[in-house]
Amino acid sequence: MRVTPERTAPVLAAGALVWREGDQDLEVLLVHRPRYDDWSVPKGKLDPGETFPAAAVREVAEETGVKVRLHRPLPTAVYLLPDGRTKIVQYWVGTVRSTTGPGPENPKEIDEVRWVPLARADRLLTRQSDRVLIDALRRQQKAGALRTQPIVIQRHAAARSRAKWRKGEGSRPLNSKGRDQAAALPPVLDAFAPAAVVSSPWKRCLATVEPYARAAGLEVITKDELTEAGHAARPSRAGAVVERVLRAARPLVLCTHRPVLPTVMSQVREFSTREVALELPRSDPFLAAGEMLVLHVTPEGTVVAIERHLPNIEGRRP
């Protein structure tokens, strides 16, 4: 039999275990699939060119009628499909942002959506891999680290060559790849729903975050301390900006430059658990152009989990 890329490529999917406060316990949002007659955590396949976080938010909305904000990542499920392909499903903790519709978009795929007390979810769920997610949520609750907020450290997208730009660093623009990255960022950022945008005022940083800010109806707050020049003159002031952001523990995206990232990472490390501190990038360039580091922060300002994402620009240009 001829082996084609479609047969060997893994199937990629994403979902979220959404929780809310119930009368006596946490409740989680589960769905019933009539085709399999099972109860599961909402999830679905990635669309072409889609990132895992954006897919998780979209799939939960399509299956439940609820738009969510993603919080901490949960264990990834990896298993074989009947046709021999590997399926990889990335999950997050989710909380409700808004209601997008009365329920599932396709009743043939999902015919019931139910908020279930956490204590009963184990008995209702069909797959062991879904029960693993419940266990992880319980551990977060027990540790007092369930109520986190996402803070995104964003390195600006790919820019014109420093050596070839003669008009000053403050005006150096994005290149074509960077413009594609900036255009692809809003769905990824929106999955974590930053409620504020803080940025270096230099052109390449602003051009990176302005597409998301426009889509979200937010004003970009600029900080000279986050520019390369401001950081070179007073690194402590850039560190102080990051410290204030962490202490506030509110959903936010902060965009800066590669030379500023050592100070950013040093400050984040001070607010991280030992396990997270070991996971943080430690060497130049720390983040690739256009890459984001998502910090999951408790109300006390402790970073208890991190993740990294790049915008998917595949297929944006012919």
Express each pLDDT in 128-181 by its tens digit.
Answer: 999 999 999 999 999 999 999 999 999 999 999 998 898 999 999 999 999 999
Q: What does the pLDDT read at residue 89?
A: 97
For 131, the 3-state DSSP assignment is helix
Q: Which of 296, 279, 280, 289 lies closest to 311 in space, CA to CA?
A: 289
**In a domain? residue 78:** yes
Q: What does the pLDDT read at residue 206?
A: 98
pLDDT digits (tens, 9 = 90+) for 188-230: 999 999 999 999 999 999 999 999 999 999 999 999 999 999 9
Are 134 and 156 contained in the same domain?
Answer: no
H helix intervals, 77-154: 118-124, 128-142
Name residue, tokens 């895992």: 52
Are 122 and 172 contained in the same domain?
Answer: no
* Domain extent for 123: 5-142
* H or E segment and range at residue 222: strand 220-222
| pLDDT top residue among 100 and 51 | 51
| pLDDT top residue among 318 and 285 | 285
* Structural domain ending residue among the three candidates 142, 164, 195: 142
CA–CA distance, 103 with 67 (Å, rounded to integer): 11
Domains identified in the chain, total number: 2
Q: Whole-model pTM?
A: 0.94
Are 87 and 158 contained in the same domain?
Answer: no
CA–CA distance, 312 with 180 (Å, rounded to integer): 9
